[in-house]
Chain A
């Protein structure tokens, strides 16, 4: 679906597309923190490909441009037009600044883009080229943004840093010359920043967009989703932005320079409970009320929240008889998500909580013990609040988990979004919610995510288990669920060199 359609669409239906399954296939690759971790350039190019008429210029050797065409978030859908300065031995000694200047001109001559996004690599970072200076020195008649990915500490925290650095470079550099008085501010408009750039990302924001329109506001732009330079330069037209965390430097920049307000999706205090974040009915209520407060339309916000929630609750009610009182086993890590929705709104009772910090990533190595304990406590408090008192297993082996499952006999297993083990539970004879079918839950915002979770849970209870999944031919690793022993060993080596031997 094109951006224009999303901008003009008033509906909230979210239908899975083949792309959603491509996304879950990409995420099932054990490279997102398990056996490898995407570098900062990958993150930067992910952002870059969300921009229109933009050419990426990698200031590095040819391998960087060749290899980074393949992006861990896009898999087999390469990034085209990846240019590079083709740094060689000579530049590592004499510097690559002049080559960069020349390449910028060549990129402009060939592609005539609106924007050239220059991205540094380890090589250019290491030789210390003063890359920012090309912004003034290059005389091409298009915008040039330079994003240097210098970083030393805290590099193991996600790959978010790459995303954040490029986003910051784009916004602050493109708006550097745009003064506040040049901007015609629109008091009813709002920016929405997207979290991860998946193919067709905009579809995930349809419901939120619809809610915003119902409140009498309109969306100035989604950032970054198929944006032109002009789109970015008109960011300050909006009165406020919905952001993930206010702590990103560009949020502060927009606030200082244009007085732009912001609404945080994940406001402080963070991780206060499992119900934290913009998920579930209350999460969305809170988000709408926060938006209402900023725009001084609390009344409209409350009204829209009530009405929309009621509509979603009505839709949900038809599924409740099939779910109420049914027991589940939640396999989770540090967030709640759809599993929490099933307990909060659908009356399902949790019998067994399996905490797996190693699912999808080697997250257990990143978190300290206190964080893990607090997560377990948050889950426990959450379940008690909703009349469940499950047995809790932390990082069990498959054998231990199976024993507990056989003992507790849940009606339904709710595995985590990043897990690749739904088939394993089905093979053991347990009905299982297929997380792939809730693809993008965490990136969708709205009341209907709860309904979708209920529909999927109901369908999972109704449909027969896949009793002989081909995947069961593969030997599963006891420690790393969802991985064969071979891949688990790769994950162990990765864990050893990246986390343990620092």
Chain B
């Protein structure tokens, strides 16, 4: 079983890439499971359609409230795997950890508890997926969102980023998290996925970062209207527009990730290096969009 995790700045396209890779791997005859680690519970939407699947935490909360039968006194109320794992496109197993409404509770804690529960339910042993994909909210903001990095979970992590400064800034922070965990037997970095977003499409900026991290750029997803159209339909491009170049690009990326053997404990950039990199990005933006403001 191969387990991989996608991290990256919010809105950078982790779920889009994750679900398309899941769909592509599934086409190759692999059994795939996708676990959304975001309290919004919409990571697997492209695989399950508009229907919101019940989250692991909601199911477990509801069961905890029910009163017990005599046999259940021993074990508690049993949760069936089928209640928390749902089949989506091409039979891909989809689970959403779920979590609290915005402004309440602790979403990070939710991820810990949900993954712990999936482990206790023996989700991986029972369903025997070939590939498990974790799609993790935003940044490694706390111990909870680092859960997939722990030993025995993700074999490697992929960071999704654009060439925008803030996306790279987030990627660098994520590298700091990965680096700390990789030294404790946790997941190493498998590579960077360059997803073209925002104001700048400068692949070499991302390649340069990857090199400094001691990693590789494993994929480059260009801007494509098919992706946006498919998203509106809650679909992957693989399903929505199967024969397009962009769908093939995802297929190619999926196999590259699946066959990737190159991993590393990344070297995050020091703050001064990040600042220098920021200045370079600003210079290029000025070149592209003309000089505004008072900065050089």
Interface residues of A (CB under 8 A from B): 95, 125-130, 132-133, 136-137, 150-158, 161, 245, 247, 266, 269-271, 334, 365-371, 374-375, 502
Contact = CB atoms under 8 A, between A and B. Distances in A.
A367 B143 CA distance: 36
Contact of B76 (A128, A154, A370): A154
Contact of A128 (B61, B79, B117, B142): B142
Nearest to A268: B71
A128 B74 contact: no
A371 to B, nearest CB: 5
Interface string B55-78: 001001101111111111111110
A245 B144 CA distance: 32
Contact of B184 (A136, A155, A247, A369): A136
Given A150-B113, A153-B61, A154-B63, A371 B76 contact: no
Q: Name the residue among A128, A153, A366, A370 with the largest chain B CB count within 10 angstroms.
A: A153
B150 interface: yes
A502 B65 contact: yes
B64 A152 contact: yes
B92 interface: no
Contacts of B71: 269-271
B112 A132 contact: no
B116 A150 contact: yes
Interface residues of B, number: 38
Contact of A374 (B70, B108, B146): B70
A271 B116 contact: no
B184 A245 contact: no
B143 A129 contact: yes
Contact of A152 (B61, B70, B151, B181): B61
The interface residues of chain B, by DSSP majority, are classed as helix
Contact of A371 (B69, B109, B113, B143): B69
B147 interface: yes
A502 B77 CA distance: 16
A53 to B, nearest CB: 27
B106 interface: yes
12 contacts: A126-B109, A128-B108, A129-B143, A130-B146, A136-B185, A137-B184, A152-B117, A153-B64, A154-B64, A157-B68, A365-B67, A366-B67
Interface of B: 57, 60-61, 63-77, 79, 106, 108-109, 112-114, 116-117, 142-144, 146-147, 150-151, 181, 184-186
A155 B64 contact: yes
A130 B184 contact: yes
Contacts of A245: 74-75
A297 B76 CA distance: 35
Most buried by A among B65, B68, B186: B68
A128 B147 contact: yes
Contact of A153 (B63, B67, B106, B108): B63
A248 B59 CA distance: 22
Contacts of A153: 60-61, 63-64, 76-77, 79, 117
Nearest to A158: B73
Contact of B143 (A128, A151, A152, A155): A128
Contact of B113 (A130, A137, A152): A152
A151 B76 CA distance: 12
Contacts of B116: 150-152
Given A95-B143, A132-B151, A133-B151, A375 B186 contact: no
8 A-B pairs with the lowest CB-CB distances in the bound complex, closest first? A128-B143, A154-B76, A133-B184, A153-B60, A368-B67, A271-B70, A153-B64, A152-B113
A366 B113 contact: no
Contacts of B69: 367-368, 370-371, 374
A128 B112 contact: yes
Contact of A130 (B76, B117, B181): B181
B67 to A, nearest CB: 4
A502 B71 CA distance: 22
Given A130-B150, A152-B57, A154-B77, A371 B108 contact: no
Contacts of B70: 270-271, 334, 367, 371, 374-375
Nearest to A378: B70
A271 to B, nearest CB: 4
Contacts of B108: 128
B295 to A, nearest CB: 33
B55 to A, nearest CB: 12
B61 to A, nearest CB: 7
A158 B70 CA distance: 13
Nearest to B60: A153
A127 B146 CA distance: 11
B113 A368 contact: no
A247 B74 contact: yes
Given A150-B112, A153-B79, A368-B68, 17 more contacts: A126-B109, A127-B142, A127-B143, A132-B150, A132-B151, A133-B185, A152-B61, A152-B117, A153-B61, A153-B117, A155-B64, A158-B73, A245-B74, A247-B75, A334-B70, A367-B73, A374-B70
Contacts of A157: 68, 72-73, 75-76
A270 B68 contact: no
A155 B143 CA distance: 22
B262 to A, nearest CB: 24
